[in-house]
Amino acid sequence: MTKLIRQINFPADLRKFHKDQLKQISSELRDELIDVVSETGGHLGAGLGVVELTVALHYVFDTPKDKLVWDVSHQCYPHKIITGRKDKIKTLRKGGGLSGFTKRSESEYDPFGAAHSSTSISSTLGMAVAKKLSNNNNNVVAVIGDGAMSAGMAYEAMNNAGALKSKIIVVLNDNDMSIAKPVGAMSKYLARLLSGKLYFSFRETVKMVISAFSKRFSQKAGKAEDMLRGLVTGGTLFSELGFYYIGPVDGHDVDNLVQIFENVKNSSHQGPILIHVRTQKGKGYKPAEESGDKYHGVSKFNVATGEQSKSKSNAPAYTKVFAETLIKHAEQDTKIVGITGAMPSGTGLNLFEKRFPDRAFDVGIAEQHAVTFAAGLATEGYKPYAAIYSTFLQRAYDQVVHDVAIQSLPVRFAIDRAGLVGADGPTHAGSFDITYLSTLPNFVVMAASDESELVKMINTSVHINDRPSAFRYPRGNGIGVEMPSIRDLLEIGKGRVIQEGKKVAILNFGTRLEECKKASEILSKKGIDITIIDARFAKPLDEKLIMEVANNHEVLISIEEGSVGGFGSHVMQFLSDRGVFDKGLKFRSMILPDIFIDQDTPEKMYEKAGLDSLSIANKIQETLNSNIVLAKNKSKLTN
């Protein structure tokens, strides 16, 4: 039998099929998704859960004229397959290939890029208002779910949409939030009834009739209608926010979805509508259905068995080092608690929770709350560790400043995914935390150069009780060094000398240390010996050590996996204040470039960023040569 999916390159092709063929298309699309991700790795479970939903949305709505926004968009692979990217789908998350998330520059079918949570309703509301101002009647649809409704931003947007009475359609993809009971035949019937033209017309007619009577009667009638709809749909919360609620609906019944979407599309209702869809994450692939995380994110895997290909390394993962070290401290200190925002396995807090279930807190996708919650714990003498990805902590910067830093509360920030992260690309790169934390007064900011240093920084943070602190570490595995005990502490604000040279000194902050060593080996063959410093601290700086190397070397290079304004900027400011540059010191700061770097392997991304060993060696050689050129030019001037 010829596969129907092969005939679909764009949604317009999908719409040529009869409704009776959509089940087969959904089944084939699911198989295609499994096949693709088995070769590319990536987010699988969420995509499996929205196959029928994806087919129904593109079948009913006139995309790309109608705008379809996927929240977080880690579930967008089926969407990409049927929106002109099927031929490139096996380049997902690879260098020069398709992004693992929606991306405006990639396709007109991606009207809004998203990889962080809970932005869809706000963005579609903006689109809806813009269309109204432009007298454009096209639909805007937001698909939100997979925990994204736990973020306050979603409710802020819904509140605003209800107040504006803007016509937007929100599809709540409820796959693990247990908002409502399992869907049955009666719920299916009621959803169709409540979305039909007849009910919309009746509802609007009732409004017009009762508006002619007293306000008191109108209020009573409104309450009666709300009560009726609340009893049959359970949508009281959404109704109170001003949304017309439909559901719950079986998200795997493509025929029913199509009928409901058509009813909504053709209705005269002008306010916001929420369609509550129940789906199963990992649907249709047994290994995913039986997995605890529903194969949320996977490496390459065997389709027949579901067995994933794991990279082999003798060195431990940084995330696991953090979790195991924190557990050791928590066994001795009952004041230590762990906090994360919907990322327990990603941050290692799931291991901490197994050992200390009463002292681990997953607050959902609510980083702002997580930070202020940690601040509250700190006021009562507890030692909160907020384990949050660098890129997600950005969402809570005001809380870091206002609720933690200004009050000098000893919240400890465990910043995972520091630096460039590979396949997840720029949305998940930890590029800015050094800058946005080092600018804050009285903050301790550390970066581990290897897994041993990470242990020492965790150890040290346990004893920092008078101010906030942060330690950053990358995704992936360490380098395989001997691990210290939990009693091995660092002196705050003190770096360490790795090797000593003469003309050139490198101040390294973070895991580029191994690349610095390789650069030194390259240059040693040219007779250039290098001093290498592992700075450890961006704040407070090791001023004594920095002054020492600045006064005893011709060239000083700072290196960090972060943006401008971070470690190198603070070193430059310090040296400038001391007048060191007046004495002829050549200083260069090697940082992440002023661009967003697309997904690739971390090695290639750092090469593009100019932070690999060869780039470091070239920068040093270039800086040394500039001294020679300058000297020759001065000689010509004097002659």
Catalytic-role residue among 353, 367, 453, 560: 367
Mean predicted confidence (pLDDT) in 105-112: 97
Q: pLDDT of 325-349, one tens digit each?
A: 999 999 999 999 999 998 999 999 9
Known active-site residue 281: yes
Could you report the per-residue pLDDT of 429-484, keeping only the tens digit for each?
999 999 999 999 999 999 999 999 999 999 999 999 999 999 999 999 999 999 99
Cα(13)–Cα(209) distance, rounded to whole angstroms?
44
Compute the Cα dihedral for 236, 241, 243, 247 and give only its sign: negative
User: What's the CA gap between 81 and 68, in Å, rounded?
Assistant: 15
Q: What is the pLDDT of residue 374?
A: 98
* 525-551 residue pLDDT tens: 999 999 999 999 999 999 999 999 999
Average pLDDT, the chain: 90
Look at the domain 4-196+242-289 and name its fold: Rossmann fold (3.40.50)
Angstrom CA distances, 154 to 75, 160, 173, 389, stand at 18, 10, 13, 20
Question: Whose structure tokens read 């994806």?
Answer: 54
pLDDT of residue 148: 86
Tell me: the pLDDT tens digits for 379-438? 999 999 999 999 999 999 999 999 999 999 999 999 999 999 999 999 999 999 999 999
Give the pLDDT score at 637. Answer: 32
> What pairs with residue 141 in β-bridges?
68, 169
Phi/psi for 224 (5° steps) reads -65, -45
Closest CA to 46 of 148, 121, 163: 148
Cis peptide before 540 (omega within 30 of 0): yes
Q: Is residue 182 over pLDDT 60?
A: no
pLDDT of residue 176: 65
Query: Is-contact 559 518, C-beta < 8 A?
Result: no
Parallel/antiparallel/unpaired status of strands 169-174 and 273-278: parallel
pLDDT in the model for residue 195: 65
Q: Is residue 512 annotated as part of the catalytic site, yes or no?
A: no
As a whole number of angstroms, the distance between CA 93 and CA 421 comes to: 11
What's the CATH code, domain 497-635?
3.40.50.920
Per the annotation, the verdict on 395 as an active-site residue is yes
Second CATH level (architecture) for the domain 318-472:
3-Layer(aba) Sandwich (3.40)
Per-residue pLDDT at 221: 47
Structure tokens at 610: 């100019």
Sequence-ordered strand ranges (E) for 500-618: 504-509, 530-534, 537-539, 555-560, 586-590
Residues in the chain: 639
Query: pLDDT tens digit string along 38-52?
Result: 999 999 999 999 999
Q: Is the Cβ–Cβ distance between 330 and 358 less than 8 Å?
A: no
Position 630 pLDDT exceeds 50: no
Residue whose C-alpha is closest to residue 31's, from 10, 5, 60, 61: 5
Q: Catalytic residue among 103, 281, 417, 475, which?
A: 281
User: What does the pLDDT average to over 234-255?
Assistant: 87
Euclidean distance between the first and final Cα of the chain, in Å? 87
Tokens at residue 579, please?
A: 């007048």
- In tens, the pLDDT along 69-90 reads 999 999 999 999 999 999 999 9
Residues linked to residue 245 through DSSP beta bridges, in sequence order: 274
**Residue ranges of domains in the chain:** 4-196+242-289, 318-472, 497-635
- pLDDT at position 309 is 87
Strand 42-43 and strand 297-298: pairing? antiparallel
Question: Among residues 30, 103, 278, 395, which one is catalytic?
Answer: 395
DSSP 576-599: HHTTGGGGT-EEEEE---SSPPPS
Residues 529 and 501: beta-carbon distance below 8 Å:
yes
Both tokens of 377, joined, read 């714990």
Model confidence at 96: pLDDT above 50? yes
pLDDT at 636: 42
User: For residues 303 and 44, what is the distance between their CA atoms, to the nearest angstrom?
Assistant: 12
Mean pLDDT over residues 154-169, rounded? 94
pLDDT band at 240 (very low <50, low <70, confident <90, very high): confident
Question: CB of 25 within 8 A of CB of 4?
Answer: yes
**Above 60 in pLDDT, residue 229?**
no
